[in-house]
Structure 1
């Protein structure tokens, strides 16, 4: 889908209008309903999560709560989807894979910072904010670590802040997919009530809907290339 960046806004609108001819009215209505709650104000970063069912569950939560972008650092553990748990959620998301050797974490953090995000490590840090008090007026990337060991020391050290989920039982931690689900629900609920531009832009809206349409149409790549060569 990188080619879409080469089209101007009007060309993207024409392309999406054309793709809608291959979609049912019901599918188009779902797109219009869901895009209203899509956001890039929050994003998720997974550091070397090795269990596919946990990654898949996190992706499912991201889709359910409207978080469009997910970054997966996989220099230690390749990324795999468990289709029974993900339930097709990955095709509605923008997933970025990062595997650039030992410097992967630094490069990912630099890139995310350049996009204007604060990076918040989800960890029971003594100086961490509770999930209710974390300031999310600025764009926020939530960082989650492995099931057993949590985040790496470097990730914790480089994070801009820390967030913890209040717990009142004997167990000291939650499963990563549970933590992600709770975090995304709590933060998106707060975000929807805030008077800040948390929704995706008009340009992003049309690009995302083109991607969704492409995932819904058989032979979409061929259809798109034919339209571009004939009309754009």
Structure 2
């Protein structure tokens, strides 16, 4: 007996609708043409991959979707050796520079030298890393343009002393999460921090997400990028600034008020994963932990920074009122 179904007959030439990476419809493929021997001819690629390009002409070819991520629209980028070199010569503030590993010429040497002078980290990376950053024709060189200008720490500290202000600095050791960094900047601006100090390597990138999370605080508070935090902490101590580290490994608790936080001060906060580096902890004048009453023994670094800075502000306001 013949089996019957209620489904309508399937069309002989069913056409599927394909979409590119930006959810735009891709035109249907043309049927493959055949040569004199009846074999399907090789299809050809039409358009660019970044624009949802596709292979035409072969039945066996499937639509090609770009596998590389789209460029982060919140980050301004520069591509190519000469544009990056011109940006450095023009004094533009670059956040990071990536160069293709194995590339050695006069232009890369000039870029490396200028970047070192401007304290801009340069990384020699494989082509896969560059392809993962952008789908555009990078020509072996990509640079992130920073939306803020970094300030020299020594100039800021000198100007604070000249103006008769009591310096309050926030030193961040390897804070890599962009939104954490933005939240910390917002805390710092609200609590009266004069500058944020970050390392040139291993720090969160200042991009659109960081600016948005900071609620504009990164446009108000100076950020200092230092090549070596160990030397920076030593410089601060020699300049009369007390370094206080926030760490759960300390026996001294914040609420005990065993440390006077009203003088020149630098609060040191550690990374989200393993806290403050041991070499930096050894340079701290004091170590304080935030008291905990719950079962979880750690706080998000942005929350911890807010608690530490609030205690500093509380002690300073109390000393003024007394």
Question: How far does the alpha carbon of each residue in 1:146-167 deviate from its partner, in whole angstroms, 9 at most, with x for none?
Answer: 1111111111122111011111
What is the DSSP-based 3-state SS (H/G/I as helix, E as strand, rest coil) of the residue aligned with 1:162? strand
Aligned counterpart for 1:52 among listed residues 157, 169, 178: 178
Q: Within the alignment, does 1:125 sit opposite 2:249 as a pair?
A: yes
Question: How far does the alpha carbon of each residue in 1:21-67 deviate from its partner, in whole angstroms, 9 at most, with x for none?
Answer: xxxxxxxxxxxxxxxxxx64321100111001011101001111111
Question: How far does the alpha carbon of each residue in 1:101-145 deviate from its partner, in whole angstroms, 9 at most, with x for none?
Answer: xxx122111221133111111001343342451211431211001
Q: Within the alignment, does 1:112 sit opposite 2:240 as a pair?
A: no
> Over alpha carbons, which structure has the higher Rg?
2
Aligned counterpart for 1:149 among listed residues 256, 261, 274: 274
Aligned to 1:41: 167
Aligned to 1:181: 306
Aligned to 1:88: 216
- Work out whether residues 47 and 74 of structure 1, in 8 Å CA contact, stay in contact via their aligned partners in 2: no
Structure 1 distance, partners of 2:285, 2:205, is 26
Alignment of 1:18-37 (within 5 A): none
Bigger drift between 51-60 and 130-139 goes to 130-139
Question: How far does the alpha carbon of each residue in 1:54-109 deviate from its partner, in whole angstroms, 9 at most, with x for none?
Answer: 111010011111112111124223532412211110111121111x2xxx122111
What is the DSSP-based 3-state SS (H/G/I as helix, E as strand, rest coil) of the residue aligned with 2:273? coil
- Higher-RCO chain (CA-CA 8 Å, sequence separation at least 6): 1
What is the DSSP-based 3-state SS (H/G/I as helix, E as strand, rest coil) of the residue aligned with 1:158? coil
The gaps in structure 1 that reach 5 residues or longer are 6-38, 197-232
**Segments of 4+ moved more than 3 angstroms:** none
Aligned to 2:293: 168
Between Structure 1 and Structure 2, which shows a larger proportion of helix residues? 1
Aligned to 1:64: 190
What is the DSSP-based 3-state SS (H/G/I as helix, E as strand, rest coil) of the residue aligned with 1:190? helix
TM-score by length of 2: 0.45
The gaps in structure 2 that reach 5 residues or longer are 1-150, 156-164
RMSD: 2.3
Structure 2 distance, partners of 1:168, 1:83, is 33
Aligned to 1:73: 199
What is the DSSP-based 3-state SS (H/G/I as helix, E as strand, rest coil) of the residue aligned with 2:188? helix
User: How many residues matched?
Assistant: 158
Aligned to 1:28: none
What is the DSSP-based 3-state SS (H/G/I as helix, E as strand, rest coil) of the residue aligned with 2:171? strand
How has the CA–CA distance of structure 1 residues 74 and 145 changed in structure 2, closer, same or farther, with 3 Å as cutoff? farther
- Work out whether residues 49 and 74 of structure 1, in 8 Å CA contact, stay in contact via their aligned partners in 2: no
- Work out whether residues 43 and 141 of structure 1, in 8 Å CA contact, stay in contact via their aligned partners in 2: yes
Structure 2 distance, partners of 1:128, 1:155, is 18
